[in-house]
Amino acid sequence: MARSSSAKPPATKGASYTPPKPKNEVKKQHDDYTSEGVEDNDIFLLPVSDYQVMLVLTILGAIVRLFRIYQPSSVVFDEVHFGGFASKYIKGKFFMDVHPPLAKLLITLFGWLAGFNGDFDFKEIGKDYLEPGVPYVAMRLFPAICGILLVPTVFLTLKATGCRTATAALGAAFIIFENGLLTQARLILLDSPLVIATAFTALAFSSFTNQHEQGPSKAFDASWWFWLVMTGLGLGITASIKWVGLFTIAWVGSLTLVQLWVLLGDTKTVTMRIFAKHFMARAFCLIIIPVTFYMATFAIHFLCLSNPGEGDGFMSSEFQATLNNKGMQDVPVDIAFGSRVTIRHVNTQGGYLHSHPLMYPTGSQQQQITLYPHKDDNNLFLLENQTQPLDINGEPINGTHAWDTVKNITENYIKDGDVIRLYHLATHRRLHSHDVRPPVSEADWQNEVSAYGYEGFAGDANDLFRVEIVKKQSLGPIAKERLRTIQTKFRLVHVMTGCVLFSHKVKLPDWASEQQEVTCAKGGTLPNSLWYIESNAHPQLASDAEKVNYVNPGFFGKFWELQKVMWRTNAGLVESHAWDSRPESWPILRRGINFWGKEHRQIYLMGNPIVWYTSTLAVVIYALFKGIAVLRWQRSCNDYSNTIFKRFDYETGTYVLGWALHYFPFFLMQRQLFLHHYFPALVFAVMAFCQIFDFATARIVRDNPIMNKAGVVTLLALSGIVFALYSPLAYGNAWTKAECNRVKLFSTWDWDCNTFLESYDAYSGLGAAPSKISQTPQPAVDNKQPPAQQPIQQDSPNVGISGAPKFEPQGQKVIGREERIEYRDQDGNILNEEQVKALEGKVEFKTKYETRTRVVDANGNEVEMPIEELAAAGVAPPHPDVQGANQETKKIVMDDPIPKEASSSKDGEKEAERSVPKPASEGNEATV
């Protein structure tokens, strides 16, 4: 039944550590597993006044989180990723992310309902949302709703553990005024959904624990089952957002084991049959339900991503074959001399052995061999024997098509140990290796692999490779003896040097279209030197020949493979980041994360120091308490006979344990870590502080409720004031340098106060500045571009370079304007058409705009004016590169010869796309 929030709990006559009198009802609790001092804190039976307080706090939380949610109107921090994933979901393009899909699916749902069609790519921080009409506010609304719901969730969790209403309100207010949680909740990010899912799980399990601790009378009733099921659902939701949910599972699991241990010790009321019932109920709700929910989210994920995309290269060939347009027809299984095949690498997500008419700029300067992720005609190789076949007269049949006329194909099956040559059909060169260092991996144990020869060339000994079938990796007895399409995994050993054909996750530079390096390694690891044949064709194979295809892995196979790829990719995120931090710095709020900066405003992930330091203090206090309690217990002090002492230890310890399990595992991780990884632990620490505060002000000292309420008001005021001081960093509001520097207490708080203007009036004047300049009286000018040559491009005569900004001053007469394009080298010299054509496809050109102005008098005569006067009149001076090369521009390195056949890269379908000239701003590259 309902109970007043202001009512005092029943008096306990154990404050002096003496046993209670027999008339005290808690004496009966020694008969079963009922915990002493526990009341029914059912959150559905709270007094109306508590719900009113919770509603007011929720409305306040909504105001704080939704205030100017449209600001900023451009991409912020990891919106680059999670907004981009929404685009891919809508387009159905498969991608790979290290996080489970639930929150991303819900963000996509909000965007789709608001009319988002997936055309916006979210590629870079600061990219404008307004002009393309992206419904970014709707997409930000989902994390904001999660942030709003966190307020009542924390309030109810504290009430479920017996805290006073004022204390619960304090915990909820700490959540409202926590600047870091606010920042995360206003953007298209995953941490706000993660935190609400973690908090909901804590609420559900705390409510279930309250029911469990009331003993056998509450076991298996409706409320007991409801909260147990909700706990399992919360675990599933949390783990389906981020794998940090595994820490929440560990928290619930460890406390569940404690409950089962206590049940096992109650031999009076818990028979083995009842214990088994308790065990099975928990196993079903806390294991089966979360796992089922987690897998269901991936089923939806696979259903939405049915088309090939950027992420399918992470997956196996079997997985890729399940995507639209990625599957292939059944192919002949038998491999013989004369077979036209594509060869795939096993370990690095199955790229194809590939060549194209581009030469290495170093080493042998022969034709490149790479690993390429797409299907392409440049992946086709013809398998030749080291000797030519013989005709009926015993004479060798010359030519690459000699094997097409062989009648008895079974005699020409390629077996384990056979020596072969691989002829590249598109360029008429053979796979080749020699004792020359590769262009990137210049290690002594690595040899260069190239394509060598020409049409009609008989080849040399360095073209010979021996087939070594790896029987443990091959499927079926036949595939272990001779090459079979898809089924046989093999190595190619270079006969002359003993090295093996090898590839690893090393990208070649732009001169190889950033494709993956292929080398010949001496002692290379087996996974990176393992290959298999995917497609196979031979003129002598009949249409009814035995065929093979990839085995469909099914949902469970795809699910498990994706989990392994996510794990490997997550563990591989070890590169440093400008704003990463280590776990030891999080509880003391040493530094934050710069999310966004534009127009003299900044968004910087920064916590509320009052919330962070009080929560960290709570953890320290409990650690000291527990240490002293253990020492006193060892000395046979009777502290645990006191109910309040026992409840403080368990209830506060529960949330400190949650903090520890969500914090300490990060010390074991070598990957990139950021401040926002601490947020789930922060919520547990806040609830631990509220528990300590409630015991100190309302449970140990029961006759003075003023202390509790006065403490709440004081802490609320402090947290609110500090929140307001740092709020410009969360909202991206205008701020001044003086105010910024005043609250920047530590040098490690590394947001840039110089970003902001000197006064708020300066912000209001930003928009009017251009119009004031244009009204300045100026002489007549003639704007024109310097003479230039037209770019060499057959397919697109109008090069995709936007025109220079137009100068349209008022009150002036523009006599003429001319726009041209020119190409210059690193020294500022103009390149002619032949020089540009030689560089085409080898270098990136950086676009720079220049405005030259001629001032004329009334008679049309040109008037010479100093540059300073032109600048004062609002006229742009000549570009620095007119006088010479810009010192900040990267120079061309002309020492290495340019590959003669570079322009032929168009022969490859995908490579042709890379040969199109692009503005340097797209690749963020300078002129080379």
**What are the pLDDT digits (tens) for 760-782?**
988 887 754 333 333 333 334 34
Of the candidates 297, 244, 306, the residue with the CA atom closest to the CA atom of residue 95: 306
Count other Cβ atoms within 10 Å, centred on residue 411. 10
Strand segments (E) across 346-487: 352-359, 367-372, 381-385, 419-424, 429-434, 446-452, 465-469
Q: What are 875's two structure tokens?
A: 């006229």
The percentage of the chain sitting over the pLDDT mark of 70, rounded to a whole number, equals 80
Confidence at residue 163, expressed as pLDDT on a 0 to 100 scale:
93
d(Cα 692, Cα 698) in Å, to the nearest integer?
10
d(Cα 504, Cα 445) in Å, to the nearest integer?
14
Helices in 794-887 by DSSP H: which ranges? 833-839, 867-872, 880-883
d(Cα 79, Cα 529) in Å, to the nearest integer?
38
Quick check: bond before 878 cis, omega within 30?
Answer: no
Helices in 497-607 by DSSP H: which ranges? 554-571
Q: Pairing between strand 547-548 and 419-424?
A: unpaired
Under a CB-based contact definition with an 8 Å cutoff, are residues 478 and 465 in contact? Answer: no
Locus of tokens 């919360």: 234
Residues of the chain with pLDDT under 70: 1-30, 350, 524, 703, 767-820, 824-829, 838, 840-928
Confidence at residue 11, expressed as pLDDT on a 0 to 100 scale:
43
Confidence at residue 862, expressed as pLDDT on a 0 to 100 scale:
59
d(Cα 241, Cα 238) in Å, to the nearest integer?
5
Under a CB-based contact definition with an 8 Å cutoff, are residues 623 and 664 in contact? Answer: no
Confidence at residue 670, expressed as pLDDT on a 0 to 100 scale:
85
Confidence at residue 409, expressed as pLDDT on a 0 to 100 scale:
80
Of the candidates 155, 77, 97, 118, the residue with the CA atom closest to the CA atom of residue 569: 97
Strand order in the sheet with 781-784: 781-784, 852-856, 862-863
Of the candidates 465, 401, 389, the residue with the CA atom closest to the CA atom of residue 430: 465
Confidence at residue 392, expressed as pLDDT on a 0 to 100 scale:
72
